[in-house]
Amino acid sequence: MPTKGGKIKSSTQEYLEIAEIKGDTVLMRDGTMRSILMVSSVNFALKSEDEQNAVIANYVSFLNNINFTIQIVIQSRELNIDNYLETLKQKEKEQTNELLKIQMQDYIKYISELISIGKIMSKRFYLLVPYNPMTEKHRGFFRSLLDAFKPAFLIKMKEEKFIKYRQQLDKRVELVKNSLAAMGLMAVQLDTQSIIELFYNTYNPVASKHQTLADVKQLRINE
């Protein structure tokens, strides 16, 4: 929200529930933690009836074996293949075989026409695994009231506690990954850089197409 002087009065970050992202983990403003898994997909319709029943049975078993909530997110985005086309055009120029060069030209033309007809969308599947170090039964009224007014920058978890809680979260992540593997799904846990890029692309869908983020390891933070 810009003021009369042109300065930004508040930023979007003030309205997000995320307090910090570190150690491949999302720390929320309420003190809870999240790990994010990117999960592969499976073509259920192409499987035989026995295979479909096995997938369903494993999914039911997965839901029955976890004693914590999970969140499944499906993200659809327009696929930008401009760089792919530029790479193909460059390889076309370098191609010495005339027949292969003609075939590559036809392929580039086909892809270009396909894009002009409609947008090519890509789907990505994410699974969020939470961990709450403090259950609600241990939170009194005044503690909850204090947390409600506590700014995000004041919630800094001590490193030893973070490592301890992270170990408990990792156990949940392994349980989820093993259960997904039984269904034929591969899950990869996002690291810090990938998590930051995920939220950046989500909240800045237009800007992220033209401006990529730098590697967090290369950033210099002034304290």
Q: What is the pLDDT of residues 194-209, one digit of tens each?
A: 999 888 888 877 776 6
Same domain flag for 73 and 147? yes
Q: What is the pLDDT of residue 171?
A: 93
Token output for 62: 């997965």
pLDDT tens-digit series, residues 132-156: 987 644 545 445 555 555 544 444 5
pLDDT tens-digit series, residues 46-66: 999 999 999 899 999 988 988
Residue 148 lies in a domain: yes
* Pair type for strands 71-78 and 33-39: unpaired
The contacts of residue 107 (CB under 8 Å, 6+ apart) are 88
DSSP string, 69-115: --EEEEEEEE---HHHHHHHHHHHHH---HHHHHHHHHHHHHHHHHH
Same domain flag for 71 and 142? yes
Same domain flag for 93 and 139? no
Residue 2 lies in a domain: no
Same domain flag for 139 and 163? yes
Same domain flag for 70 and 112? no
Q: What is this structure's pTM?
A: 0.68
Domain count, the chain: 2
CA distance 131 to 172: 8
Same domain flag for 21 and 109? no
Same domain flag for 162 and 187? yes
What's the average model confidence in pLDDT over 96-112? 88
Residue 160 lies in a domain: yes
Residue 6 lies in a domain: no
Domain that holds residue 97: 80-118
Same domain flag for 38 and 50? yes
What angle is formed at CA 127 by the lines to CA 134 and CA 184, rounded to 5 degrees? Answer: 130
Same domain flag for 40 and 66? yes
Residue 151 lies in a domain: yes
Residue 99 lies in a domain: yes
Same domain flag for 103 and 166? no
pLDDT reading at 41 higher than 80: yes
Q: What is the pLDDT of residue 117?
A: 77
Same domain flag for 103 and 148? no
Same domain flag for 95 and 172? no
Residue 27 lies in a domain: yes
